[in-house]
Amino acid sequence: MKAIVYTQHGLPSTDPASLVEIDLPVPTPGPRDLLVEVRAVSVNPVDTKVRNGAPVTEPRVLGWDASGVVKAVGAEVTLFKAGDEVFYAGAINRPGSNSELQLVDERIVGAKPQRLGHADAAAIPLTAITAWELLFDRVGVPENGGEGKSLLIIGAAGGVGSILTQLARKLTRLTVIGTASRKETAQWVSELGAHHVVDHSQPLAEQLQKIGLPQVDIVISLTHTDQHYAQIVEALAPQGQLALIDDPATLDAVALKRKSISLHWELMFTRSLFQTADMIRQHELLQRVSALVDQGVLRTTTGENFGRINAENLRRAHALIETHRARGKVVLEGF
């Protein structure tokens, strides 16, 4: 089967050797695995982080978002059958979706939304799982709850922010404030449902004061947390909550003590990486997200379609992600 891999970490995405096409054997499903024919993928910051930072001794297939069709199932599979259309984000410790065929545990897979094609479906899983776990599991906002409270999303125009904004607006009663630094991304965040949009390239306190929310109850920081950290602490109300997904070089949690601010980390790979007892929750939440898309409550967050799944187009996608200027998700479709 065709696969796009990296064989040497740290090469710039403009280097033709940073991602290359090779042939690999077709994998055999384990007991709870689905063998999926990959029809479309999307690219996430984790793809570029792993390519840049994880040394390899053999070719590694990246890709943690996919939509496709089940070709075969393992002996203990009960949730899906051959021919089912599915979408998923995969596991960080297994070969990724940038290949014609991929193995994925059924417990982290959902049924593809019927109203979407494979490309638009592939834009959703990783960011939807991350956003859902952030909002409902980590900071514990109940569905249809949050009345009278406010949420500030740092980096609301990116992949996770584009889903998180929708979930917070449609499924809670929070006042949603998203940040974006360009006119087109600010418009995008507004269209996704944010009550207010502020510019994270400018001081936040003055902008929050202007919209009548000088302090917020929850901050979910999705990018450049270290750059905004002092302002985040200032903006949070006493006994507020801070959640994040990025990797600041340092994070002085002592700064949170005076206001009794709680700190929450989110990594959507935790359940699959540690085979947690509640691993099937990711199947359940993807099923829910799929239903919400089909009901018209949520929309895909596809920003750009880069064409076929090949090394050249994936290098282009990685390069865009590395600029931190992508709006929504970059998708690719078909081998």
Q: How far is CA 68 from CA 34, 90, 207, in A?
A: 11, 12, 43
Amino acid at 304: E
Question: For residue 324, is pLDDT > 90?
Answer: no
Measured between alpha carbons, how far is 322 from 186 in angstroms, rounded to an integer? 20
The pTM of the full predicted model, rounded to 2 decimals, is 0.96
Q: Whole-number mean pLDDT of the chain?
A: 97
Question: For residue 77, is pLDDT > 90?
Answer: yes
pLDDT of residue 256: 98
Amino acid at 252: D
pLDDT of residue 32: 98
Phi first, then psi, for residue 126 (nearest 5°) are: -60, -45
Measured between alpha carbons, how far is 111 from 79 in angstroms, rounded to an integer? 10
**Which of 37, 2, 90 is closest to 314 using CA atoms?**
2
Q: What fold characterizes domain 127-265?
A: Rossmann fold (3.40.50)
102 C-beta neighbours (distance < 10 Å), count:
26
Question: For residue 283, is pLDDT > 90?
Answer: yes
Question: For residue 326, is pLDDT > 90?
Answer: no
Phi first, then psi, for residue 15 (nearest 5°) are: -80, 125
Percent of the chain with pLDDT over 90: 98
Which stretches of the chain are DSSP H helices? Answer: 45-53, 118-122, 125-132, 159-171, 183-191, 204-210, 225-235, 270-273, 281-294, 311-322
Beta bridge partners of 152: 177, 219
Query: Tens of pLDDT along 90-141?
Result: 999 999 999 999 999 999 999 999 999 999 999 999 999 999 999 999 999 9
CATH class held by domain 2-124+270-333: alpha beta
Measured between alpha carbons, how far is 234 from 215 in angstroms, rounded to an integer? 8
Tokens of 270: 């935790």
Tokens of 201: 């390239």
11 C-beta neighbours (distance < 10 Å), count:
16
pLDDT of residue 41: 98
Contact yes or no for 320/293 (Cβ under 8 A):
no
Query: Tens of pLDDT along 228-280?
Result: 999 999 999 999 999 999 999 889 999 999 999 999 999 999 999 999 999 99
pLDDT of residue 325: 87
Q: 252-258, long-range: CB within 8 Å, 24+ apart, which pairs?
A: 255/229, 255/230
Phi first, then psi, for residue 232 (nearest 5°) are: -65, -45
Query: Tens of pLDDT along 182-221?
Result: 999 999 999 999 999 999 999 999 999 999 999 999 999 9
332 C-beta neighbours (distance < 10 Å), count:
25
Beta bridge partners of 35: 72, 103
pLDDT of residue 74: 98
What is the DSSP secondary-structure string of 135-165? IIIIS-PPTT--TT-EEEEETTTSHHHHHHH
Domain ranges of the chain: 2-124+270-333, 127-265
Percent of the chain with pLDDT over 70: 100
Beta carbons within 8 Å of 260's beta carbon, 6+ residues apart: 238, 239
Indicate the burial class of 280 (C-beta count within 10 angstroms; 0-12, 13-18, 19 or more).
middle
pLDDT of residue 278: 97
